[in-house]
Amino acid sequence: MVEALLAAQRELAEKPVAWVLERLDRVAQRWLDHADPIRREAEGRLASETGLAPTMLRLGLDQMIRRMQGIPELLDQDLGSRAALDELVRRAPGVRSQAWGPGLLVCIFAGNVPGIPAFDMAMGLALKSAVLCRPASGEPVFAELFARSVGEVDELLGRCLAVQRWGYDETWPYEQAGAVVAYGSDESVAAVRRLVPAHVRFVGHGHKLSFAVVARESATAQTARLLALDVAMYDQQGCLSPHMAFVERGGALSPAAFAQVCGNALAGLEAEMPRAKLTQAEAMALRTARDEAEFAADALHASQGDLAWTVVHSEAPAFLPSPLNRLLRTYAVDDLEQVTAVVKPYAAYLQTVGVAGPGQRMGALAGALGRLGASRLCPVGQMQEPGALWRHDGGLTAGALVRWIDMEVTE
């Protein structure tokens, strides 16, 4: 398999990057067409495999494909110019530079959010590399369908993609790789890293947490409804899902009232995109969290007769991750500066921060949270839809996978 991928990659390396990007755009257009057969097959099979609501999957797949469409701009951002993948380009006075992709990119995907493989698979191809993917056992559908769609658009690009599962103790996928990207728990990412040769570039995306911050100026019912959508998407399983929200006192809605409106909004979303069926362990975790909230929290808003959604409100700020599956914790703060102090002990795990408030105040918050380790601030309601230019975990994306040659010239 690897030899076949590398043979196809040698053909791909001779193509202009514009040729690759044009075909990837055709792939994206197919996936954005809800009537396309492969898109319809994906929605049906993903709903069956994951239990996620069809409405949610439809929205989420559109978001994933739109991110993929931003890869040309990402190449320009990370490489200075996408043309650097074709030829020497002027980088600075007296310096010409050219970039090469990894040749073979190996991707290990987690199964918590369907559609994620689209970006990495397309990125590998855009870097004129072959891509070998290991899909998650809990979501084996999307990567295989995406690879098929690429092959239907262009035979050569299709030969540059392979989707296969292998044991976590097997080393053959990494022996000829130029780069490895791994998603999963800290433990699973570390296990892969140990198998990858030292000379191979390794990018690991392990456990991360996201949360929201609501300034008093934006403590409104509309903000609460947007936050509820961020919570409901993917049943809170992704690293971009908010576990908690810090709500500043003094707004149109008090933090306690804001929490109640969040609960009402989650109840409404349950009708439109019902939460997936829980495992026994997930149900037990939610029941335990609700029982603890009955004694320790200042308010508990929860669906009646089931575990569809939960909002736990406390007037004293803390940092307590959610057991997921649409349980949101809200905390009251007197001032936004309190948030930085509360989250500081968990700096290594910070990911996305959804914000609602005046730009000047949010800019100051971005500086404080960025110093701690958060890699993205975005408006509440858009936490699950990062753009292609997002620097995942604060690092380069395409730039982390390429190698360069610099030629010094006399001008």
Helix%, strand%, coil% for the chain, nearest 5: 50, 20, 30
Please tell me the predicted confidence (pLDDT) of residue 293: 95
Mean pLDDT to the nearest integer, 7-22: 98
Per-residue pLDDT at 253 exceeds 80: yes
Element (H, E) at 61: helix 54-69
- The pLDDT > 70 percentage for the chain reads 100
- Supply φ then ψ for residue 404, to 5 degrees: -125, 155
Please tell me the predicted confidence (pLDDT) of residue 360: 87
Beta 201-205 vs 327-333: how paired, if at all? unpaired
Could you give the CA distance from residue 288 to residue 310 in angstroms, rounded to a whole number? 12
Q: In degrees, to the nearest 5, what angle opens at C-alpha 372 toward C-alphas 371 and 377?
A: 80
Average pLDDT in the chain: 95
Mean pLDDT to the nearest integer, 171-199: 95
The answer to whether the Cα torsion of 276, 282, 286, 289 is positive or negative is: negative
Please tell me the predicted confidence (pLDDT) of residue 410: 79
Mean pLDDT to the nearest integer, 293-305: 94
Please tell me the predicted confidence (pLDDT) of residue 220: 97
Please tell me the predicted confidence (pLDDT) of residue 140: 83
Contact 171, 195 (CB under 8 A): yes
Residue range 321-352, pLDDT digits in tens: 999 999 999 999 999 999 999 999 999 999 99
Name which of 353, 351, 337 is nearest 395 in CA terms: 351
Neighbour-count burial of 411, counting CB atoms closer than 10 A to its CB (0-12 exposed, 13-18 middle, 19+ buried):
exposed
Could you give the CA distance from residue 390 to residue 210 in angstroms, rounded to a whole number? 15
User: Domain 209-379: which CATH class?
Assistant: alpha beta
When mean pLDDT is compared across 97-106, 154-163, 361-370, the lowest value belongs to: 361-370
Per-residue pLDDT at 138 exceeds 90: no
Mean pLDDT to the nearest integer, 3-28: 97
Per-residue pLDDT at 359 exceeds 90: no
Residue range 50-92, pLDDT digits in tens: 999 999 999 999 999 999 999 999 999 999 999 999 999 998 8
Q: What b/e readout covers 205-235, taking b as 16+ CB neighbours within 10 angstroms? A: bbebbbbbbbbbebbbeebbbbbbbbbbbbb
Strand ranges in 315-369 using DSSP code E only, listed in sequence order: 327-333, 350-356
Could you give the CA distance from residue 183 to residue 173 in angstroms, rounded to a whole number? 16
The pLDDT confidence band at residue 113, using thresholds 50, 70 and 90, is: confident
CA distances in angstroms from 111 to 46, 50, 60, 247, listed in the order given:
11, 9, 14, 31
Please tell me the predicted confidence (pLDDT) of residue 386: 93
The pLDDT confidence band at residue 249, using thresholds 50, 70 and 90, is: very high
Please tell me the predicted confidence (pLDDT) of residue 248: 97
Q: What is the pTM of this model?
A: 0.93
Please tell me the predicted confidence (pLDDT) of residue 91: 87
136 DSSP 8-state letter: B
Beta 242-248 vs 327-333: how paired, if at all? parallel
| Residue 13: Cβ within 10 Å count | 14
Please tell me the predicted confidence (pLDDT) of residue 20: 98
Please tell me the predicted confidence (pLDDT) of residue 43: 95
- Supply φ then ψ for residue 262, to 5 degrees: -60, -45
Say which residues have a Cβ less than 8 Å from residue 360's Cβ, sequence separation at least 6. none
Could you give the CA distance from residue 38 to residue 183 in angstroms, rounded to a whole number? 25
In the chain, where the domains are located: 2-207, 209-379
Mean pLDDT to the nearest integer, 262-289: 96
The dotted CATH code for 2-207 is 3.40.605.10
Mean pLDDT to the nearest integer, 270-297: 95
Per-residue pLDDT at 115 exceeds 80: yes
Per-residue pLDDT at 411 exceeds 80: no
Residue range 380-406, pLDDT digits in tens: 999 999 999 999 988 999 999 999 999
